[in-house]
């Protein structure tokens, strides 16, 4: 089971760094969508008319209202969008739209500490916006003036009726007063009643005069509407910024989703966090040595493997000699790490044997290790385990590092299953006695159980992890396989994804050469007539050509058995 995920900031930054193209693509897509929405939305223009509202007699402020003056501007703002005002504005605009539709385009703002209404009207063209704002302001003022005038007319009618009633009553009192006797109580009462009626009539007449002479001023337009130069909607900057933000958030979400479901190992931190093992060395594209540069000790890759050698030697216990290098995935990472580690150990002067235990499926796959170290691909370990050759014939000394010997994988394709044989154990025991260190290039733990079997015969193990090729479950399984056989796992070597082994360059086929046996002292001429078959020369790494043959001069007392033909790759 995978270990718990890290929660530090470096983990999240690593996710962003590995999936930056997803975040970038989502952000660009958000920008494009914001621009497309801006182009698709209809343009809306707004024009504003400022109206100064005058107080009239019927104006009253509600208890606890927001405005403190005689005019309740909150109520007046609601009246601007009322049906009566919208109907008058529709008539002024001569618009085919209904008053309700026009009222939806109106908005009113009341600036603080003023008696001003800011009447805004939104339309699809600047001309319609200006005309609509002015029409609603004009309609509001007319409606307010008509309402005020109607109230005044009602008051005038009421006062006129009351004055008429008082005048009739006063006429009746005067008639009765003329008939009353002087000094009588009736005359005194009638005089008092006439005085009261006269005073009321005078008061009502004064109020009526004020109402009939009053002028109605509901308000005025102090700033008329103008044609807007730019639309207020859509807001291009707002839409594009919103689209970019949405795209960025979506990209980050997609990045973390990919990280959650992506099981590939992408960094050395993944190896430490998931498998809980030490990273002995982490190579990148610049420091990873090429297959032909395995013997270069002073390059960037050579220096890293020299440090790896020092750490490995410091981690080994006294008497530990065999080191198994296996991988968490198929590929050439194991071969590269094992060869460079063996070369680094051999540069100290120790006798080192590199064993290619990753049995090939064909002779072609056996070539990389041989080509890296400049030795012959066959015979090798598979030929030894198959019983076709001996240990002395498969151990080859590298030409450039004398203390490094190599046992290639060989060319036998039928040696499967021999990694668990007793012959392999005996071979490793023999190499343990002959060399100071034995580095075994094992197959990956994900391809077969041979890596676990080889690790059980070794003193320590190193895991080669190829980024973007190794999977997290396979990495954890590799650590568990090695731990279950009790082999100490020193750590992991992390490499970038390798392109693979380069193809072998085409070589010129050299013509066969006829050999002549040398003259041997002590033998008669008949015995010395040895016929050698033609042998094809082999081109060496330094460009020279070499022809070798083996002549068996062992004395025989019986009829000799037929000897096999000389092989071109036999050492003299």
Q: What is the pLDDT, as a whole number, of residue 186?
A: 82
**Would you say residue 500 lies in a domain?**
no
Tens of pLDDT, residue by residue over 316-367, are 888 888 999 998 888 888 888 888 888 889 888 889 999 888 765 443 344 5
Together in a domain, 219 and 313 = no
Using N-to-C axis directions, what is the helix angle for 185-213 and 126-179, rounded to 10°? 160
Q: What is the pLDDT, as a whole number, of residue 359?
A: 63
329 close to 446: Cβ distance less than 8 angstroms: yes
**How far lies 173's CA from each of 7, 189, 313, 321, in Å?**
104, 10, 138, 144
Provide the pLDDT confidence category of residue 11 given band limits of 50, 70 and 90: low
The domain tally of the chain equals 4
Question: Of the candidates 430, 417, 354, 418, which has an alpha carbon nearest to the alpha carbon of residue 391?
Answer: 430
Calculate ∠ Cα 152-155-159, nearest 5°: 140
Structure tokens at 49: 């008319």
Together in a domain, 472 and 562 = no
The more confidently predicted of residues 506 and 187 is: 187
Q: CA 277, CA 494: separation in Å to the nearest integer?
A: 12
In 170-321, which ranges are E strands?
A: 219-223, 279-282
Together in a domain, 248 and 276 = no
**Would you say residue 2 lies in a domain?**
no
Together in a domain, 53 and 142 = yes
Q: CA 543, CA 526: separation in Å to the nearest integer?
A: 39
Helices (H), 397-539: 422-434, 450-456, 472-484
Together in a domain, 423 and 543 = no
220 close to 50: Cβ distance less than 8 angstroms: no
Together in a domain, 53 and 29 = no
Kindly write down the DSSP assignment for every residue of 64-98, as one continuous string: T-S--SSS-HHHHHHHHTSHHHHHHHHHHHT-SS-
Identity of the highest mean pLDDT range in 262-266, 288-292, 549-553: 262-266
Together in a domain, 26 and 53 = no
Provide the pLDDT confidence category of residue 401 given band limits of 50, 70 and 90: confident
Together in a domain, 179 and 206 = yes
Identity of the highest mean pLDDT range in 66-80, 113-127, 175-189, 208-222: 113-127
Handedness of CA 472, 477, 483, 487 (dihedral sign): negative
Q: Looking at beta carbons, which pairs linking 395-400 to residues 24 or more positions away fall under 8 Å?
A: 395/353, 398/295, 398/373, 398/374, 399/374, 399/375, 399/541, 400/295, 400/374
**Would you say residue 1 lies in a domain?**
no
Least confident segment among 183-187, 507-511, 527-531: 507-511
Q: Is 395 left (phi over 0), alpha (psi -120 to 50) or beta?
A: beta
Give residue for tokens 């980050």: 252
Last residue of a domain, one of 495, 526, 544: 495
Provide the pLDDT confidence category of residue 113 given band limits of 50, 70 and 90: confident
Tens of pLDDT, residue by residue over 428-457, are 888 888 889 999 988 888 887 888 888 888
**Would you say residue 228 lies in a domain?**
no
Q: What is the pLDDT, as a whole number, of residue 243?
A: 92
Structure tokens at 495: 């490499």
**Would you say residue 335 lies in a domain?**
yes
For the chain, helix, strand, coil in percent to 5 are 45, 15, 40
Last residue of a domain, one of 164, 199, 223: 223
Together in a domain, 418 and 307 = yes
**Would you say residue 240 lies in a domain?**
yes
Last residue of a domain, one of 199, 223, 247: 223
Range of the domain at 21: 9-41+234-261
Average pLDDT over residues 252-257: 86
**Would you say residue 504 lies in a domain?**
no
Together in a domain, 345 and 240 = no
Please determine, for residue 293, whether its predicted confidence score (pLDDT) is greater than 60.
Answer: no
Together in a domain, 188 and 330 = no
CATH of the domain at 483: 3.40.50.300
Together in a domain, 198 and 254 = no
**Would you say residue 229 lies in a domain?**
no
Q: CA 220, CA 49: separation in Å to the nearest integer?
A: 11
Q: What is the pLDDT, as a whole number, of residue 295?
A: 57
């Amino acid at each position: 089971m995978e270990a718990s995920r890290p929660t530090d900031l470096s983990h999240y930054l690593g996710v962003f760094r590995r999936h930056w193209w997803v975040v970038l693509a989502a952000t660009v897509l958000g920008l494009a969508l914001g621009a497309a929405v801006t182009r698709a939305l209809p343009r809306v223009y707004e024009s504003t008319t400022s109206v100064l509202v005058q107080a009239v007699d019927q104006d009253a402020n509600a208890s606890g209202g927001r405005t403190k003056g005689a005019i309740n501007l909150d109520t007046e703002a609601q009246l601007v969008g009322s049906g009566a005002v919208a109907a008058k504005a529709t008539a002024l605009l001569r618009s085919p739209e209904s008053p309700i539709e026009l009222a939806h385009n109106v908005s009113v703002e009341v600036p603080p500490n003023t008696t001003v209404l800011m009447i805004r009207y939104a339309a699809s063209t600047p001309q319609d916006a200006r005309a609509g704002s002015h029409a609603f302001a004009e309609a509001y003022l007319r409606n307010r003036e008509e309402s005020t005038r109607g109230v005044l007319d009602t008051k005038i009618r009421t006062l006129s009726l009351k004055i008429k009633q008082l005048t009739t009553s006063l006429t009746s009192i005067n008639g009765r007063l003329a008939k009353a006797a002087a000094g009588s109580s009736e005359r005194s009462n009638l005089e008092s009643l006439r005085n009261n009626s006269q005073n009321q009539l005078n008061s009502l007449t004064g109020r009526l005069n004020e109402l009939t002479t009053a002028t109605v001023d509901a308000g005025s337009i102090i700033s008329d509407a103008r044609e807007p130069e730019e639309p207020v909607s859509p807001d291009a900057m707002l839409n594009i910024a919103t689209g970019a933000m949405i795209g960025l958030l979506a990209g980050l979400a997609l990045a973390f989703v990919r990280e959650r479901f992506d099981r590939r190992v992408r960094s050395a931190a993944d190896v430490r966090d998931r498998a809980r093992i030490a990273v002995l060395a982490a190579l990148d594209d610049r420091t990873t040595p090429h297959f032909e540069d395995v013997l270069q000790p002073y390059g960037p890759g050579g220096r890293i493997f020299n440090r790896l050698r020092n750490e490995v030697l410091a981690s080994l216990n006294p008497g530990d000699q065999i080191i198994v290098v296996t991988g968490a995935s198929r590929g050439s990472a194991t071969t590269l790490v094992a060869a460079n580690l063996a070369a680094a150990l051999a540069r100290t002067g120790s006798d080192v044997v590199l064993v290619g235990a990753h049995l090939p499926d064909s002779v072609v796959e056996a070539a990389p290790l041989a080509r890296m170290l400049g030795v012959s691909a066959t015979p090798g370990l598979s030929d030894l385990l198959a019983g076709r050759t001996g240990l002395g014939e498969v151990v080859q000394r590298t030409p450039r590092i004398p203390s490094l010997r190599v046992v290639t994988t060989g060319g036998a394709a039928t040696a499967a299953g021999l990694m668990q044989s007793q012959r392999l154990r005996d071979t490793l025991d023999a190499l343990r006695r002959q060399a100071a260190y034995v580095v075994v290039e094992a197959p990956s733990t994900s391809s077969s159980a041979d890596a676990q079997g080889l690790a059980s015969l070794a003193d320590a193990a190193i895991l080669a992890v190829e980024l973007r090729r190794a999977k997290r479950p396979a990495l954890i399984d590799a650590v568990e396989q090695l731990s279950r056989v009790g082999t100490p796992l020193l750590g992991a070597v992390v490499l970038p994804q390798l392109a693979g082994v380069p193809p072998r360059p085409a070589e010129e086929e050299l013509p066969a050469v006829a050999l002549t046996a040398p003259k041997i002292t002590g033998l008669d001429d008949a015995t010395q007539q040895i016929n050698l078959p033609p042998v094809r020369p082999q081109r060496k790494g330094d460009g020279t050509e070499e022809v070798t043959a083996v002549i068996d001069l062992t004395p025989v007392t019986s009829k000799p058995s037929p000897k096999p033909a000389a092989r071109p790759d036999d050492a003299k």
